[in-house]
């Protein structure tokens, strides 16, 4: 019993093992007919007042925000399978009655958190599929649970290729690949960086994701729930050799704060190299408080790679932080020069470059996290610089010879970027100790005296 809260009759909390989840079957819901749309919205207990129904939700964030479900009389015989093994079931009681009494019956089953994928090489087309981490792309809970994904190539002599479209896991999370039949085989732990690319030794692999504990001893727990997880594409092949295996080490992840450069230059040798670069700009903590990120093109060179592999080479930019975010634009060799001068997103950006490239192929972007002016319109919040175009950028980005504002106002007039103005940023400077000298030994300098020598305004002690 809940102790008599208004509208809430009873509540059951079910928690099972770390490798398990729950399957619910609503066998019987003997309630009065109810139209929830005619009643007030749910109260603090997620109950629609005056309406008998069952409400369920998972406990751990971010699942707790996304899994709220209501089951009324008309939902009898429905089923629900949880993401995790931590679930609450509530009977929300209304001021109604039925002839043979209100009651409900819910059957639950504890099942393994395991998904299995099977296939075989086809002579007519590639056999591919996708696997995603729990709750992708909305993030997963760091709650000590584990998830298993088994992939079987039904050809006993075949192999499996893995390409990760998304790879965004927390420091606490461990993802291991067991290559071969059984979990006693050798395993590979996938590191957070670089983004992995994998080809199996055998025809069967098991991917085990351990989310990590929120109370790990001696470790700093990540804030919930900024990590998207992963999305991989698997391909069944006959041969282990992967001639066009892409190099993903060019991938980068940047927090949505400050600014920086994203750049790419192809292989310097005469032999082509294939790349799969993902640049991600996203919020990773409550400290990343920028209102948006601005991406501007610095350089693009269509070299030999774009000419030779024009049908394979692509650049895509998405308005969000995963491969499932809305596509802003997709470029090939035919329209690469049509990239706009700047792109702005409030959600973050997912940028992916794929194909074969040489040293003559170059691409470079500059990104800047921006904030809006204050509500009174008098300036920027905190330690931000007001650009002439009314964007606010981190004060550290001024006077660094890079146009972060987009109108050059953070780099001019030249007088503002002199040594006297840069004293505001003295925390960046290293001031060596200089022994004091007597007044007789100090020269009379027209600009600045540094110890016992004269220097000009464009020099630093």
Do 408 and 393 share a structural domain?
yes
For residue 377, being part of any structural domain is answered with no
Do 273 and 231 share a structural domain?
no
Do 233 and 120 share a structural domain?
yes
Residue 391, domain extent: 384-428
- 221-272, pLDDT tens digit by residue? 677 789 999 999 999 999 999 999 999 999 999 999 999 999 999 988 877 7
More confident of the two residues 195 and 432: 195
DSSP, collapsed to helix, strand or coil, labels residue 305 as helix
Domain final residue pick, 206, 237, 268: 237
Report residue 4's pLDDT band, with 50, 70 and 90 as the boundaries. very low
Residue length, the chain? Answer: 461
For residue 316, being part of any structural domain is answered with yes
**Of 270-284, 396-410, 414-428, where does mean pLDDT reach its minimum?**
414-428
More confident of the two residues 112 and 374: 112
- 23-53, pLDDT tens digit by residue? 999 999 999 888 766 555 566 778 888 888 9
DSSP, collapsed to helix, strand or coil, labels residue 170 as coil
DSSP, collapsed to helix, strand or coil, labels residue 424 as helix
For the cut 80, the answer to whether the pLDDT of residue 417 exceeds it is: no
Do 265 and 232 share a structural domain?
no
Do 268 and 153 share a structural domain?
no
CA distances to 34, 92, 93 from 50, rounded to whole Å, are 9, 9, 7
So what's the pLDDT on residue 437? Answer: 43
Do 98 and 130 share a structural domain?
no
Strand partners, 453: 450
**Of 270-279, 383-392, 404-413, where does mean pLDDT reach its minimum?**
404-413
Q: What is the CATH number of the domain that holds 45?
A: 2.60.120.290
For residue 1, being part of any structural domain is answered with no
Residue from 391, 349, 319 nearest 254 by CA = 349
Do 149 and 167 share a structural domain?
yes
Query: How many other C-beta atoms can be found within 10 angstroms of the C-beta atom of residue 215?
Result: 9
For residue 277, being part of any structural domain is answered with yes
For the cut 60, the answer to whether the pLDDT of residue 96 exceeds it is: yes
Do 296 and 229 share a structural domain?
no
For residue 247, being part of any structural domain is answered with no
Domain final residue pick, 53, 88, 112: 112
Do 90 and 25 share a structural domain?
yes
Do 436 and 409 share a structural domain?
no
Q: In the chain, how many domains are there?
A: 5
For residue 337, being part of any structural domain is answered with yes
**Of 106-120, 192-206, 440-454, where does mean pLDDT reach its minimum?**
440-454
Query: How many other C-beta atoms can be found within 10 angstroms of the C-beta atom of residue 357?
Result: 28
Q: What is the CATH number of the domain that holds 423?
A: 4.10.400
Domain final residue pick, 112, 137, 168: 112
Report residue 186's pLDDT band, with 50, 70 and 90 as the boundaries. confident
Do 233 and 119 share a structural domain?
yes
So what's the pLDDT on residue 432? Answer: 37
| Mean of pLDDT values over 277-297 | 92
For the cut 90, the answer to whether the pLDDT of residue 188 exceeds it is: yes
Do 263 and 194 share a structural domain?
no
């Amino acid at each position: 019993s809940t102790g008599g809260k208004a509208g809430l009759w009873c509540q059951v909390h079910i928690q099972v093992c770390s490798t398990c989840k729950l399957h619910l079957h609503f066998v019987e819901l003997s309630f009065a007919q109810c139209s929830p749309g005619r009643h007030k919205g749910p109260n603090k207990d997620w109950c629609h007042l005056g309406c008998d129904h069952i409400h369920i939700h998972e406990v751990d964030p971010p699942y707790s925000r996304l899994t709220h479900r209501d089951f009324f009389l008309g939902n009898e015989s429905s089923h629900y399978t949880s993401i995790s093994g931590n679930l609450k079931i509530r009977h929300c009681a209304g001021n109604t009655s039925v002839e043979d009494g209100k009651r409900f019956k819910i059957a639950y089953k504890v099942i393994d958190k395991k998904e299995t994928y099977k296939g075989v090489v086809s002579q007519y087309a590639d056999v591919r599929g996708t696997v995603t981490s729990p709750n992708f792309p909305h993030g997963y809970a760091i709650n000590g649970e584990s998830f298993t994904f088994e992939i079987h190539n039904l050809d006993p002599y075949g192999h499996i290729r893995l390409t990760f479209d998304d790879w965004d896991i927390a420091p606490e999370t461990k993802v291991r690949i067991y290559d071969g039949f059984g979990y006693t085989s050798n395993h590979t732990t996938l590191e957070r960086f670089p983004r992995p690319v994998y080809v199996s030794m055998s025809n069967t692999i098991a991917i085990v994701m351990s989310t990590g504990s929120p109370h790990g001893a001696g470790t700093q727990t990540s804030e919930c729930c900024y990590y998207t997880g992963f999305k991989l594409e698997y391909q069944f092949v006959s041969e282990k050799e992967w001639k066009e295996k892409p190099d993903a080490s060019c991938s980068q992840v940047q927090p949505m704060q400050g600014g920086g450069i994203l750049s790419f230059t192809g292989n310097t040798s005469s032999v082509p190299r294939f790349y799969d670069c993902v640049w991600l700009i996203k919020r990773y903590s409550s400290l990343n408080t920028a209102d948006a990120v601005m991406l501007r093109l610095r350089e693009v060179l269509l070299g030999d790679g774009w000419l030779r592999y024009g049908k394979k080479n692509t650049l895509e930019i998405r308005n969000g932080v995963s491969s499932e975010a809305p596509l802003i634009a997709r470029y090939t060799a035919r329209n690469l020069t049509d990239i706009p001068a700047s792109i702005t997103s409030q959600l973050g950006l997912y940028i992916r470059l794929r194909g074969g490239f040489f040293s003559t192929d170059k691409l470079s972007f500059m990104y800047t996290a921006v904030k809006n002016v204050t509500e009174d319109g008098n300036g920027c919040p905190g330690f931000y610089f007001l650009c002439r175009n009314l964007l606010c950028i981190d004060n550290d980005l001024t006077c660094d010879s890079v146009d972060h504002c987009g109108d050059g106002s953070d780099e001019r007039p030249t007088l503002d970027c002199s040594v006297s103005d840069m004293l505001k940023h003295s925390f960046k400077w290293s001031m060596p100790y200089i022994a004091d000298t007597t007044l007789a030994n100090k020269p009379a300098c027209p600009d600045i005296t540094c110890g016992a020598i004269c220097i000009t305004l464009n020099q630093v002690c």
